[in-house]
Structure 1
Amino acid sequence: MKRKTVLITAGAALAVAVGIGGPVLYQEVNQRNEAATTSHVALTYEADFSDDANLAGAAEDLFYGKVTALKGQKDLGIGPETQYAVEAQRVFKGDVTGVVVVNQQGGKDENGNIVSLPEDDTLLEVGKRYLFAAKYNPDQKFNTVIPVHGDLPIPDTEVPAPGVPDMNGDGQPTMSDRWVASVQNQNDLSTAPPDEEPTEEPDEDPTPEPSPTGSS
C-alpha cells in the first residue's frame, strides 16, 4: 500500500472533540440563516479533505453504506449530533460489517430547526446511500463521519468516473475505482517528520588548549 506523509501544523482554531480526532480542527462561528432556519458552524481544517488521499488517510473506516433508520440525537457538549443505522455495503478501508451506528455533527432543536450543522454539509437521509469516511468512537460505540467530505451521496456506485484510475482493469473507471485508488494512495496524516537534532556550531575564535609540557 502506497502511503504519503503530510505534515500537520498547529493552527489557531479551536479544537473540539467530536470523536474524529486526528488533524481536524474546528472554529465555532455560528451563522444564522433565518429564512432557512438553519444554524451553521464554520469549520477550519489542518488538511484538505476534498483531496481523496487526505480523506482516506484520516478515516479509520471508508465504506459505502445505506442509511436504514434514524437512531436518535444526543449532545456531547458542542451541540446536537445525530445517529443513524447504516448498512455497510462495500468496505474500502477498515473492518465495519453489517449494520453500524453512524454519528453526524448537527441536528435539530425543539422547534425542528437544523442547528450546529457544518457549512456545506446536509443531514443524512434515510434510504439513501453514501460514501462514509469515519472514525470509531470507542466510548460512544459509533462511527463519527468527517464533516462535509465524509458523507458523500453515492446513488450509483458504478457510475463512470473520468480521470480516475481503472483499478480493476475492466476498462471502465468508476466511483468505486476512485475510492480503491484513494486508499492505495492515502496520505498518512498521523505522522509528522521527526524533529531534526540541533547542530552545535563551533566557537568563532576557539581558545587553543595549552600544549602539554614535556619532561626534561
Structure 2
Amino acid sequence: MILKRKTVLIAAGAVLAMTAGVATTTVHQHENEHDAGSASGLELTYDADFSNDANLAGEAEDLFYGKVTVLKGRKDLGIGAETQYAVVVERVFKGDVAGTIVVNQQGGKDADGNIVDLPDGDALLQVGGRYLFATKYNPDQKFNTVIPVYGDVPIPNMEAGAPGSPDADGDGQSTISDRWVAAVRDQNDLSTAPSTDEPTEEPADDPTPEASPTEGS
C-alpha cells in the first residue's frame, strides 16, 4: 500500500483519566526532549511507502518495542475516535522514550462496542500485546501517536529469526531486532522531498516581428 503525497492532521486530545478500579500508571514524559509541535494536533506527512522499513524509520520520531499494559482512555477528538494506552518501553531503536509512556492510536470503539475510525489495514492495540511502534510525539498532549497501519506491528518476540534481514549486530543470526536496527541505520530522510515544480517552457525561437507599414504607401 503506497500512501500518496498529502498532509494529514491527527487531532491529539487530552488523555482521559484512568477508569475506576485500574491501578495508576506512572507515565514518563519527555516533552523537553523533542521539538515543539502544533498546538492542536500531530502532523504526519505521507510522502512515501511506509511498508518500506527505511521510510518508516525516517518518518518516525521514536521507533521502539514495548508492551501495552493498560487502556487509558477513549475520546472523539473532532475528526474521529482515538484511543490512548500505557506502554512499557522494552527496547529503543530510535528516539529517547523510556519507562512507561502514553501511546495514542487513531480509531476506537463507539458506545455499542463497534470499532470505528480505524484506518484500513490497521487493528486496535491489545492490552498485553507487544508491538514495534513507530510514532510521532505531541508535546502539548504528552503522548506518542502511532503512524497508522505500519507503526504498530505486533511482535511477540523481538529476537525471533528473520530470514532475509541483515545481521546488524554481527552475531551470525538475523533477527527481527536486527531488521529494525538496520532500518534506523539506513533510514530515509523524508523531510527533503525533491521539488515537483515543472520547468517553464520557452519558445525555441523568437517570432520574427512583422514589418511596420511605410507612411504614405
Normalising to structure 2: TM-score of the pair? 0.73
| Offset, 1:10 | 4.4
Provide Cα deviations, 1:14-51, integer angstroms capped at 9, x if missing partner.
Answer: 73334452323xxxxxxxxxxxxxxxxxxxxx421111
Q: Which residue of 1 aligns with 2:22?
A: none
Q: Which amino acid aligns with 1:16?
A: L
Q: Is the 8 A contact 2:9 2:42 kept in 1?
A: no
Cα distance, 1:81–1:163 mapped onto 2, change above 3 Å: same
Matched residue count:
177
Q: Aligned-pair distance for 1:193? A: 3.3
Q: Are positions 1:15 and 2:16 aligned together?
A: no
Q: Which residue of 2 aligns with 1:120?
A: 121
Distance 1:9 1:117 in 2: 18
Contact 1:57 1:189 in 2 (8 A): yes
Amino acid at match of 2:153: L
Find the residue that maps to 1:21 and give its secondary structure. Answer: strand
Match of 2:63 in 1: 62
Task: For 2:52 and 2:42, locate their aligned partners in 1 and report how far apart those are by CA, in whole Å.
Answer: 17
Q: What is the match of residue 89 of structure 1?
A: 90
Q: CA separation in 1, counterparts of 2:65 and 2:52?
A: 18
SS of 1:89's equivalent?
strand
5+ long unaligned stretches in structure 1: 1-7, 25-45, 207-216
Q: Give, in whole Å, the separation in 1 of the partners of 2:155 and 2:5.
A: 33
Conserved? CA contact 2:5–2:48, under 8 Å: no
CA gap 1:184/1:79 in 2 versus in 1, 3 angstroms = same
- Structure-2 change in CA distance of 1:103 and 1:127 (3 Å): same
1:48-89 per-residue CA deviation (whole Å, 9 max, x = no partner) reads 111101110110000000001000011221111000000011
Task: Return the offset for 1:189.
Answer: 0.9
1:65–1:53 CA distance, 2 compared to 1 (3 A): same
> For residue 99 of structure 1, what is the aligned residue in structure 2?
100
> CA-to-partner distance for each residue in 1:146-180, whole Å, 9 max, x for gaps?
11110000101111101111011110000000000
Q: C-alpha offsets along residues 194-215 of structure 1, whole Å, 9 cap, x if unaligned?
A: 688x799799469xxxxxxxxx
Secondary structure of residue in 2 paired with 1:134: strand
Kindly indicate whether the alpha-carbon contact (under 8 Å) linking 2:65 and 2:90 is maintained by their aligned counterparts in 1.
yes
What fraction of aligned residue pairs are identical, expressed as a percent? Answer: 69
The change in CA–CA distance for 1:87 and 1:195 in structure 2 (over 3 A counts) is same
User: Quick one: distance in 2 between partners of 1:70 and 1:134?
Assistant: 18
Q: Which amino acid aligns with 2:136?
A: K
Q: Structure 1 CA distance, aligned partners of 2:4 and 2:131?
A: 30
Q: Aligned to 1:73, what secondary structure does the other structure show?
A: strand
In structure 1, what is the Cα distance between the partners aligned to 2:117 and 2:187?
30
**CA–CA distance in structure 2, aligned partners of residues 22 and 16 of structure 1:** 7
Aligned to 2:147: 146
- State the secondary structure of the residue aligned to 2:9: coil
How far residue 118 of structure 1 moved from its aligned partner, in angstroms, is: 1.1
Q: CA 1:169–1:116 in structure 2 vs 1: closer, same or farther (change >3 Å)?
A: same
